[in-house]
Amino acid sequence: MVPAHRLRQILPVVWIVGSLAAILIAQQQNIPAGVAVPVTLAFLLEVSFYLGVRQVAGLQPWMAAATALAAYLVFTVPTQHFSWPALGALAVLALAACYWLHLLPPSLDLLFLVFMGAVFLLKPFRWIYPDPMQELRVDALGQLVWIRLGIGAFLRDRPELDTGFGFLPARKDWIEGARYFMLFLLPGIGAALLLRYVSFGLAEGWWWKGPATFAAFLWVGALSEEFFFRGVMQPKLGLVATSIVFGLVHLPFREFPNWKHVLVATVLGYFCGLAYQKTGFIRAPTVTHALVVATWRTFFR
């Protein structure tokens, strides 16, 4: 977790680096300033909320829900993509995410995870956050909002659930995460190769895509999935059941039904679950998860 004083130090760096990266991308892809500026500001604003998820979780539920609308307005108003129905849908979803755990008993927490996952898989953010121009998708902004609201809800209303959520793994987390990554390689990659699901082949630009993929998953993709599956679900369902559920949610990956990916994801879920059992926190399985995805996207097709 990022303390408040550390957050104040980090955010200026995030905004400077993010702005410079956005300028380079806009120049390379010929994105006009009228689109690039509001999209960049919206993402940087939401990233700031994400890094400060603990601070936002300390707000009243309706105030936390209101933060979900900020990036939407920053993006849609200047680009003329604002829509009252879309804003209303986003507000309803945000209020549901922020008030479910606040009002309902812990016995319904798993149902809350089903609700969060269903919304994520149904992809309403493709409609709520329309593409400002061809081949420039911004629905990832909505996905980040949804992840943040879900994590924030548990941090606020289930403080007894000690998942160890944090952006910087400790030395022990790196060691155990790397160890279970190595243990995954033979059964996980081996199964994918036997099923002819993947083949060896370096990705174009592997030298930067590998580290970038690892960082993105360490701090967002893997971190959020490990929080919900290992940190929240596994203590309730156990290792094997959680691994199976984790695999099944990947059924629509790239195509439907993708049973080969389900099998590999189930194996990954099992080894991430072992890392969680070993350390008691989600940071080690987050390292395992991020290493697997980065390796997968860098060295396999």
pLDDT interval class at 7 (50, 70, 90): confident
Cβ atoms of 78 and 38 within 8 Å: the answer is yes
Instruction: Report the chain's mean pLDDT, rounded to a whole number.
Output: 94
Q: Is the pLDDT of residue 67 over 70?
A: yes
Longest dimension (CA), the chain: 51
Cβ atoms of 78 and 37 within 8 Å: the answer is yes
The Cα–Cα gap between 131 and 134 comes to 7
The Cα–Cα gap between 4 and 107 comes to 32
Q: Is the pLDDT of residue 134 over 90?
A: no
Q: Is the pLDDT of residue 5 over 80?
A: no
Q: Is the pLDDT of residue 1 over 70?
A: no
Average pLDDT over residues 243-256: 93
pLDDT interval class at 62 (50, 70, 90): very high
Average pLDDT over residues 267-284: 97
Structure confidence at residue 175 (pLDDT): 97
Query: Taking the domains of the chain in order of start, what are their residue ranges?
Result: 4-157, 171-299
Residue percentage of the chain with pLDDT more than 90: 86
pTM of the predicted structure, to 2 decimals: 0.94
Q: Is the pLDDT of residue 205 over 90?
A: no
Residues 6+ apart with CB under 8 A from 172: 279, 284
Burial class of residue 216, CB neighbours in 10 A (0-12, 13-18, 19+): middle
User: What separation in angstroms does the CA of 77 have from each of 39, 57, 83?
Assistant: 11, 26, 9
- Range of weakest confidence among 145-149, 182-186, 203-207, 235-239: 203-207
Average pLDDT over residues 219-223: 95
68-103: pLDDT as tens digits: 999 999 999 999 999 999 999 999 999 999 999 999
Q: Is the pLDDT of residue 135 over 90?
A: no
Structure confidence at residue 133 (pLDDT): 87
Angle at 187 between CA 269 and CA 257, to 5 degrees: 60
Average pLDDT over residues 231-256: 94
Q: 138-162 burial, b for 16+ CB within 10 Å, e for fewer?
A: bbebbbbbbbbbbbbbbbbbeeeee
Structure confidence at residue 103 (pLDDT): 97
The Cα–Cα gap between 248 and 273 comes to 15
Cβ atoms of 164 and 277 within 8 Å: the answer is no
31-55: pLDDT as tens digits: 999 999 999 999 999 999 999 999 9
